Amino acid sequence: MRTLFISLLIILTNNIMAQNDPVTEPKGLNIGGSTPLFTALTQDSSNYSLADSLKKGPVVLIFYRGQWCPVCNRHLSNLQDSLKLIYDKGATVIAVSPEKPLLLNKTAEKTGAQFTLLYDKDYKICDAFDVTFQPEKKTRFIYNNALGADLKNAHSDDSERLPVPATFVINKEGIIVWRQFDINYKNRSNVDDILKHL
């Protein structure tokens, strides 16, 4: 019965867009712009520095919603399956979520991700890349109750904000050379496009 309930709620949300007000919609940083440098905690609570990573080569930066999101998990699993192709181009992959480190570990378990997962405390990275938004109340209810997101406790505050799922390819000079950004959460980057722009 619970499975049927969850399925019905997911069907109801399939056509819900993340925002309704085009003035307040996030736009994402543009190609050709400089990347904000940041530090953050990884899934094992160690420190990560984007500046240090860029010294070694280009970075593929992915924003995802959380371990509760089946589309995110599928996307990250696909990236993991092709990770060697990205590494062969000299790049690294990082994936950013506002979920706390314990939940980042759940993402790693669900997706098999062997790349770095980062905790975006207080949405600082999401805000810097202009991908932060707040879903509508009814959408948040579905995420929390049907998908088990528990956004108020999973994040650093109870605002229940999320990132637009997006991918940025950043060159060694810290310039964004490609991006995939779409407020429709079902649309994600693919490995072929990432490889073309590394």
Tens digit of each residue's pLDDT (9 = 90 or more) over 7-53? 444 444 444 443 444 446 899 999 999 999 999 999 999 999 999 99
Confidence of residue 133 (pLDDT cuts 50, 70, 90): very high
Q: Name residue 162's beta-bridge partners.
A: 133
Burial 64-92 (b: 16+ CB within 10 A, else e): bbbbbbeebbebbeebbeebeebeeeebb
Three-class SS of residue 184?
coil
Q: Which helix (H) or strand (E) holds 94?
A: strand 92-97
The values of phi and psi at residue 195, to 5°, are -65, -35
Strands 176-181 and 166-170: antiparallel
* pLDDT over threshold 70, residue 135: yes
62-83, pLDDT tens digit by residue?
999 999 999 999 999 999 999 9
Count the helix, strand and coil residues of the chain and give each as a percent rounded to the nearest 5: 35, 20, 45
Report pTM: 0.88
Which CATH architecture best describes the domain 33-135+149-196?
3-Layer(aba) Sandwich (3.40)
Specify burial of residue 11 (Cβ count, 10 A radius: 0-12, 13-18, 19+).
exposed
Per-residue pLDDT, 9: 47
Q: Are 179 and 69 in contact (CB under 8 A)?
A: no
d(CA 143, CA 89): 36
